[in-house]
């Protein structure tokens, strides 16, 4: 996995992390109409 300097995690996000974020947002009733910014760590 590629490392990125200046990124808090030091790496790019994964497809699994994106899928988990989307699943959590869709299933959480306390986040209606939420906007989740996905930048891939850039």
pLDDT in tens, 16-42: 888 888 888 888 888 777 777 776 555
Owning domain of residue 14: 1-42
Number of domains in the chain: 1
pLDDT for 12 equals 76
C-alpha 2/C-alpha 25 separation (Å) is: 27
Q: Long-range contacts for 8-11 (Cβ within 8 Å, ≥24 apart)?
A: 8/41, 9/41, 11/41
The full length of the chain comes to: 42
Determine the pLDDT at residue 27: 85
What pTM was estimated for this model as a whole? 0.53
For residues 28 and 42, what is the distance between their CA atoms, to the nearest angstrom? Answer: 26
- The pLDDT of residue 11 is above 80: no
- Strands in 1-42 per DSSP E: none
């Amino acid at each position: 996995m590629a490392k990125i300097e200046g990124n808090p995690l030091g790496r790019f996000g994964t497809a699994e992390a994106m899928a988990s974020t989307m699943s959590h947002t869709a299933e959480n009733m306390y986040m209606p109409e939420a906007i989740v910014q996905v930048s891939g760590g850039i």
